[in-house]
Amino acid sequence: MNDFLLRINGSEMRVRAPGDESLLSVLRNRLHLTGTKYGCGEGQCAACTVLIDGQPQRSCLTQVSSVAHARITTIEGLESSGALSPVQQAFLEEEAFQCGYCTPGMVLAATALLREHPHPSEPEIVKGMDGNVCRCGTYPRIVAAVKRAAELQSKGDASHAG
């Protein structure tokens, strides 16, 4: 067992865990941040996606020892002062989920995509979201939500420009 300092959602948290324990397990079982979902456990479905220093990463394949001192963002860290992020809001508005199990990973992947490409084309959205599996097949609504999130972010940026 080792002690790790993790920077999660803007807070520093100390956790005692084996260095090879998955970040997913640490988040869910040791820190009780259960928004990150266990899907396949093999990095194939992306339900467990979190942002590590702003980049989407499968937490089921990430050893906790490899992210000590990195900036980790989970679905719980996207809201600000009780307000949903533009991506979260767009997923609600476009009803881009059915069972919702993939939604946290989808939202984090979309958040990272929009940071890299604030106004993505539909093919860029499809490519950027590739690997995130939705068992319910709501892909058209997910694409619509990412487009809507880009619009919401643009409106938010315009309102802060003046």
Report the DSSP pairing between strands 71-73 and 55-58: unpaired
> Domain spanning 86-160 has what CATH number?
1.10.150.120
Q: Which of 60, 69, 71, 70 is nearest to 27 (CA)?
A: 60
* Distance separating alpha carbons of residues 38 and 47, to the nearest angstrom: 6
List, for residues 6-63, the tens digit of each pLDDT value: 999 999 999 999 999 999 999 999 999 999 999 999 999 999 999 999 999 999 999 9
Mean pLDDT on 110-129: 97
Instruction: Give the start-to-end residue ranges of the domains of the chain.
Output: 2-75, 86-160
Q: Is residue 153 scored above 80 in pLDDT?
A: yes
Q: Is residue 138 scored above 50 in pLDDT?
A: yes
Report the DSSP pairing between strands 71-73 and 2-8: parallel
Q: Is residue 162 scored above 90 in pLDDT?
A: no
> In this structure, are residues 4 and 63 in contact, taking their beta carbons and an 8 Å threshold?
no
Looking at every residue in the chain, the average pLDDT score rounds to 94
| pLDDT at residue 41 in the model | 94
CATH 3.10.20.30 fits 2-75, yes or no: yes
Write down the H helix ranges in the chain.
23-25, 86-93, 103-116, 122-129, 139-160
> In this structure, are residues 28 and 38 in contact, taking their beta carbons and an 8 Å threshold?
yes
Q: Is residue 160 scored above 70 in pLDDT?
A: no
* Distance separating alpha carbons of residues 149 and 99, to the nearest angstrom: 21
The confidence band for 87, taking pLDDT boundaries of 50, 70 and 90, is very high
Apex CA 117: angle with CA 87 and CA 47, to 5°? Answer: 50
